[in-house]
Structure 1
Amino acid sequence: MTLFEARPITVSIARPADQVYAFAHKPESFPKWAAGLGAGLTRDGDRWVAHGPDGDVKVRFSPPNAYGVLDHWVTLPDGTEISIPLRVVANGDGAEVTLTLFRPPGMDDARFARDQGMVADDLARLKALLES
């Protein structure tokens, strides 16, 4: 059994969870706050192609649902698929958005710390967009 080191990264957003989900679940919304998707997304059948800083990657999103699940899977050019669990849950009148970042084998401490910072920045952008 393989278990990867995981870091949940969470932001509180002062908007109802259903409104946060309604915005964030649309693939077209991701480039507005998720820097890793770079210049945007192009639809390619049931997947999307993200034009990011390290080249194009394929992205598959979880279908719309009533549970706040925003999971997505990124397929790198070498065929490696990365699972990115993402959730919106109610917190009183607001919402918590949590992305679980997995550390792949071979990733050094500096790169993992950098990725955590990038995710925190992305979630801060989402918060700013939704609270403005």
Structure 2
Amino acid sequence: MNDTGRQSRHLGIHIDRTVDEVYAYASDPANLPAWAHGLGGSMAQVGNRWVAESSPMGRVEVAFVPRNELGVLDHHVTLPSGETVHNPVRVIADGTGSEVVFTVRRQPGTSDADFERDAATVAADLARLKEVLESV
């Protein structure tokens, strides 16, 4: 039996900035519209959550784990259906720069095409994060 709900893909990108610089920028939800287009073009803080009203998925809420010294940027995205998706993300030292690794998890019932589309969206978001941080 094939349990497609347990499939993961780790996508990483090298960024020519220190771990501290990458983590500080990427952990600030206010910066998400500049690089995480998969979440939409605007974020607003509502209590301790951040809300994207116009994401491709509809209104979603984003909640990051507390800031930490380990480079963990995990976040939960609550979809319009009420389902919450956990997204593991790490910022890791890579020489004098950093590597950002995002684990895309295939949700139960997700087609091959949708899983590939999710992975492509995350890869494009990581490329934008690299572009934004390296152009500063």
| TM-score over 0.5 (shorter chain) | yes
SS at match of 2:66: coil
Q: Secondary structure at the match of 2:8?
A: strand
Query: Within 5 A, what are the aligned runs for 1:2-13?
Result: 4-13=6-15
Is the partner of 1:104 in helix, strand or coil? coil
Find 1:23's aligned residue among 11, 22, 25: 25
Shift of 1:55: 1.4
> Normalized against structure 1, the TM-score is what?
0.95
Deviation of the 1:119 alpha carbon: 0.5
**What's the offset of the Cα at 1:53?**
2.3
Q: Which runs of 5+ in 1 are unaligned?
A: none
Q: CA RMSD in A?
A: 1.2
Give yes or no for contact 2:57–2:80 (8 Å, CA) kept in 1.
no
Question: How far off its partner does 1:6 sit?
Answer: 0.4
Cα distance in structure 2, aligned partners of 1:61 and 1:116: 20
**1:121 and 2:124 correspond:** yes
Say whether the 8 Å CA contact 2:57–2:79 is kept in structure 1: no
Q: TM-score, normalised by structure 2?
A: 0.92
Take 1:98 and 1:67, find their aligned partners in 2: how far apart are those partners? 13
Identity of aligned residues (%): 50
Residue type at the aligned position of 2:123? A
**How many residues are matched?**
131
Tell me, in whole angstroms, the C-alpha distance in 2 between the residues paired with 1:122 and 1:39.
12
Residues 21-100 of structure 1: pairs in structure 2 closer than 5 A: 21-51=23-53, 52-100=55-103
Partner Cα distance (2:65, 2:100) in 1: 16
SS at match of 2:110: coil
Q: How many Å separate the matches in 2 of 1:21 and 1:48?
A: 18
In structure 1, the residue corresponding to 2:90 is in which secondary structure?
strand
1:87 positional shift: 0.7
Tell me how far apart the structure 1 counterparts of residues 134 and 122 of structure 2 sit (CA, whole Å).
18
**C-alpha distance in 2 between matches for 1:56 and 1:40:** 11
Q: Distance in 2 between matches of 1:39 and 1:108?
A: 26
Counterpart of 2:40 in structure 1: which amino acid? G
Shift in Å, 1:46: 1.2
